[in-house]
Chain A
Amino acid sequence: MSEATENKPTNAARTMSRRQFLADTARTACGVGLLGLGIGVYSDRAGALPANALRPPGAKPEEDFLAACTRCGLCVRDCPYDMLHLGKMGDDVPLGTPYFFAREAGCEMCEDIPCVPVCPTGALDHDLTNINDSRMGLAVVSDEETCIAFLGLRCEVCFNICPIRGEAITLDKKHNERTGKHSLFIPTVHSEACTGCGKCEEACILDEAAIRVLPNHLVQGKLQAHYRKGWEEKAKAGEALVTPDTEHRYNLPEGMRYEHAGEGLIMDDADASKSDAINILNRGFGD
């Protein structure tokens, strides 16, 4: 720049053409820069994944994924269930990248994970060799008002369809307050096991699923690092770390104890015939 503004007395024409050159260069740089800015802003807008779109198993975190994925569709081709798609122009997903919608068709969690090793770029992490370790998303029971399990009906479809049945979703037995005498079998998701395959959302029998599978970062909470769970610390240390537990005293009949760690009432002489309420009461009065 300084060279051009300094007058070079030797050759006026040369200076002119050099000025011309610099002006042209500056103009080109500005034009291309503006275009780049436009593409950058556009790709930023259009580059966000909608909440219900999930990446294939082993996908790197979204930012790295968009840096690595060449949008070749090899993962899509090697999925034997054809449940992965490449974002078409006009779709709501970043152009050309692979995704699936759980409600349409979830991942079948193939044991050999054919979609991953074929990825040439590592956008799908080749270190993923056990499909149970994949985290495509996390299931959440998102609507307790319509999930029929909460209404007191037996459903358990999500529980039964889950490829890691009994681990990613368990049925928690709760008292049905409405009837006063029945149980609710509440589907409860466990993040340490759920892979986010989406089968539960796909299978949910409602018109609109009451269980949804969403990207982990949208649903998963994170406890502050300083939290310590007293009961876990106690188990680790083998004793209470704060004030020692005082010995509880109950006026229990002979042969009965109370266990605070969860077992509750214990009868040393646990004979089935003697363990019903009447017997216990009777025993208290000494038979």
Chain B
Amino acid sequence: MAKPFSEIGNDAIQSKGWLAAHKWLILRRVSQLGVLALFLLGPLAGIWIIKGNLSSSLLFDTVPMTEPVVFLQMLATGLVPATDAIIGVAIVAGFYFLVGGRVFCSWVCPVNMITDAAHWLRERLGIRGGARFSRNLRYWMLGMVLLLSAVTGTMAYEMFNPVSILHRGIIFGVGLAWSVVIAIFLFDFLVAKRGWCTHLCPMGGLYSVIGRYSLLKIAADKREACNDCMDCFIVCPEPQVIKPALKGAKKGLSPVILASECTNCGRCIDVCSEDVFSFGTRFNKYEKLGSEIGSAQKV
């Protein structure tokens, strides 16, 4: 049972080769850094493909984008947002509605690289214990953030939000933003395992809600091949989402990972030596199993 963390994924590396066993991880990092690079191309090289930062931006000087948590805070203050913000949030929310809300977390958010690194180090050093939070805390946090805007009449959480602070810091000048990086890293490293992204971040909470019925989903379609190595559970930032899909055959549950907290990171695909998981739509295999299973699987 207690396989050392350093050996997680070794089976997959052996059977598929290192590259294939890190494919989605590498693509994800490329995407995360690529998004940052796109934003930096303007200020550093004068090539303005995208302007602004994650909170609001302008693509090719025409397509507005606005981040949904920021937008909801604006609404909560009682302000009527301008058209660009409304169009912008529709574009962003629409995109994540299709591909899965937490694709933002695993493919875009710069904080994810920090919390992933903290988790990796924590596991490598075998640090145990610390604070435990409910995974639902993020939804409470989201409620608190919106309530705070309603009460203070300002976007109070934006004074604190590590995602926007870090991203803006990288694009517009760091100031003391590195202190936020260190704080988040130390929190996840020492205080709580996967503390921030899996338990606390209200943005992760809202993106889970947005992507609840997303088209793009991971499925354990070859779940009969699972050899119970448990590697996927160890690498998954939200391991609770895997079980119904991977182990639910007897209960007649769909192999599609339908839980909204799945970040579509694909790490489970990487580490599985038996190629149990793959990307698909929420409907693949789902319909084949019959409608009564479909209704039993409502998450």
Contact = CB atoms under 8 A, between A and B. Distances in A.
A158 interface: no
A2 B48 CA distance: 60
A121 interface: yes
B201 to A, nearest CB: 13
A90 B81 CA distance: 28
A131 to B, nearest CB: 19
Contacts of B159: 39, 42-43, 46-47, 94-95
A120 B84 contact: yes
Chain B contact patch, size range: 35 or more
Contacts of A173: none
Interface string B58-72: 100000101100110
Contacts, number: 151
B169 A89 contact: yes
B176 A89 contact: yes
Interface stretch (A25-33, A104-112, A177-185): A25-33
Contacts of B278: none
A284 interface: no
Contact of B66 (A32, A63, A70, A126): A70
A77 interface: yes
A136 B108 CA distance: 36
Contacts of A144: none
B179 interface: yes
A77 B52 contact: yes
Contacts of B88: 120
Given A68-B79, A120-B64, A121-B82, 6 more contacts: A29-B140, A32-B141, A36-B147, A39-B157, A40-B156, A88-B172
Interface of B: 42, 48, 51-53, 55-58, 64, 66-67, 70-71, 74, 77-82, 84-85, 88, 134, 136-137, 140-141, 143-145, 147-149, 151-160, 164-165, 168-169, 171-177, 179-180
